[in-house]
């Protein structure tokens, strides 16, 4: 009997998912709850387990395809029969729609479709990146001996960039591709331009980032305001607190202090802790403070979320930042770890540079860019002295907040960071 497995409703508001990679192929026998496929949504990447034991009879969507919720994803033959008539990917939900509960983890990069199975490291993840080439098999120039070698090595010759005369694939090209998954670098002027270029499909995590950034820039009316922060006093406080933090197993940096200062500022300027419900044309002001931390992860830009940051201590925030960073690195972050922020802080740590205009984490109203702390000359009481200075930049959606709101908010954050004593008095 053929069982149609439909794309499940993975999360609130999710209407489709992109196929990241299949764990099975047609003809494979699968057990109940065996991983079938990784699917990426705009919320997270999920691994769908098999709802039945049997044989994979048909796969309706290949890697990189978009599968809408309610469409038939795969057909499982429970008794060795043939696929049902509805197994063409065009049906809607049936009474026996998915029974699987997906396991969620942090967004991972889309594994490229390799011509040969990549060699895996001890952890099982491919270490060789092979990107799609654009040549069609029929147009490939190669000798019969080269084609035979490709077949023997399991290399799809259409994916091998040529280095030979007139764009011919050579036996050395095939061997190089099979051993490393990359092409030889030809001498300029001796091969087609395609051999000097690399084409990578825009999909997976990179596509999600592109879509999110485009939506934010094309929807929110960005304006940016910048302020210089004298962090000298906070540098001293943090240095004194490092030993006590270490006793509690906490590696203390400046980000937890910035989080607390931001929360305090948001309480005074609620227009920045908000979003726009475009369907009802209502401004939704949040009375909870879930602070997003935007940083570069192993797979690209990731925003992790510190929930209820106003109720956490400096040490607790520091622990949570470390936990979230570790979850992203190990692909174990949950949907709650990655969604629901009300305001975002973008930080590149020591690589923070001097100035940036961060893009708002839509549909939020504002985002702060944290830049590097460095010793610079400053004038204090008529004297040139060395101080620890840092720039903060804020981008705000001018549709929902005025320049005054953004500037005053950042001034409040500045005053708390420059005088940590007042910051601790503000804490609840």
Catalytic residues: 398, 402
- Packed helices 232-247 and 314-329: angle between N→C axes, nearest 10 degrees: 70
Residues in CB range of 349: below 8 A, 6 or more apart: 253, 295, 372
Q: How many CA atoms lie within 13 A of 306 on its CB side?
A: 31
Burial of 189 (0-12, 13-18, 19+ CB in 10 A): exposed
Among 279, 355, 340, 268, which residue's Cα sits nearest to residue 306? 340
Distance, CA of 116 to CA of 126 (rounded, Å): 11
Q: How many CA atoms lie within 13 A of 62 on its CB side?
A: 2
Structure tokens, 31: 């057990």
Taken as a whole, the chain contains a residue count of: 428
Distance, CA of 150 to CA of 171 (rounded, Å): 8
Among 194, 190, 176, 179, which residue's Cα sits nearest to residue 133? 194
> How open is the CA angle 96-98-103, to the nearest 5 degrees?
160
As beta bridge partners, residue 292 has: 305, 344
Strand extents, DSSP E, 179-245? 222-230
State how far Cα 204 lies from the chain centre.
9
Contact 100, 8 (CB under 8 A): yes
Structure tokens, 393: 């930049």
**What's the CA dihedral at 129, 131, 136, 140 to 10 degrees?**
-50
Distance, CA of 239 to CA of 254 (rounded, Å): 10
| Helix, strand or coil, per DSSP, at residue 323 | helix
State how far Cα 231 lies from the chain centre.
31
Q: What's the start-to-end Cα distance of the chain, in Å?
A: 61
As beta bridge partners, residue 303 has: 294
């Amino acid at each position: 009997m053929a069982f149609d497995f439909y794309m499940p409703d993975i999360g609130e508001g999710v209407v489709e998912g992109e196929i990241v990679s299949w764990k099975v192929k047609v003809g494979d026998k699968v057990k109940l709850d065996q991983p079938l496929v990784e699917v990426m949504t705009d919320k997270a990447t999920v691994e769908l387990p098999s709802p039945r034991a049997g044989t994979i009879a048909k796969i309706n969507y290949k890697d990189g395809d978009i599968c809408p919720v309610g469409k038939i994803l795969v057909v499982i033959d429970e008794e060795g029969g043939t696929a049902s008539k509805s197994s063409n990917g065009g049906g809607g939900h049936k009474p026996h729609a998915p029974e699987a509960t997906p396991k969620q983890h942090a967004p991972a990069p889309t594994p490229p479709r390799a011509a040969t199975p990549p060699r895996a490291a001890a952890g099982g993840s491919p270490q060789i990146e092979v990107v799609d080439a654009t040549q069609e098999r029929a147009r490939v120039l190669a000798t019969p001996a080269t084609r035979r070698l490709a077949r023997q090595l399991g290399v799809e010759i259409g994916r091998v960039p040529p280095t030979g005369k007139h764009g011919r694939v050579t036996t050395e090209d095939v061997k190089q591709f099979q051993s490393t998954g990359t092409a030889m670098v030809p001498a300029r002027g001796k091969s087609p331009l395609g051999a000097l270029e690399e084409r990578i499909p825009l999909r997976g995590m990179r596509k999600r980032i592109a879509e999110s950034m485009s939506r934010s820039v094309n929807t929110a009316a960005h304006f940016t305001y910048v302020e210089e922060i004298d962090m000298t006093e906070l540098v001293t406080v943090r240095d004194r607190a490092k030993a006590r933090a270490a006793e509690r197993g906490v590696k203390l940096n400046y980000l937890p202090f910035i989080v607390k200062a931001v929360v305090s500022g948001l309480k005074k300027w609620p227009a920045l802790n908000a979003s726009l419900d475009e369907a009802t044309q209502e401004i939704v002001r949040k009375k909870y403070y879930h602070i997003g931390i935007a940083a570069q992860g192993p797979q690209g830009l990731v925003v992790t979320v510190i929930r209820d940051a106003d109720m956490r201590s400096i040490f607790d925030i520091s622990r949570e930042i470390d936990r979230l960073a570790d979850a992203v690195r190990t692909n174990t972050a949950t949907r709650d770890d990655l969604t629901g922020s009300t305001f975002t802080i973008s930080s590149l740590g020591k690589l923070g540079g001097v100035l940036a205009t961060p893009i708002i984490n839509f549909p939020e109203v504002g985002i702060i860019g944290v830049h590097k702390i460095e010793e610079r000359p400053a004038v204090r009481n008529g004297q040139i002295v060395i101080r620890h200075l840092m720039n903060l930049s804020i981008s705000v959606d001018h549709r929902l907040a005025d320049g005054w709101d953004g500037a005053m908010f950042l001034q409040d954050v500045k005053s708390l960071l420059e005088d940590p004593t007042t910051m601790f008095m503000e804490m609840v």
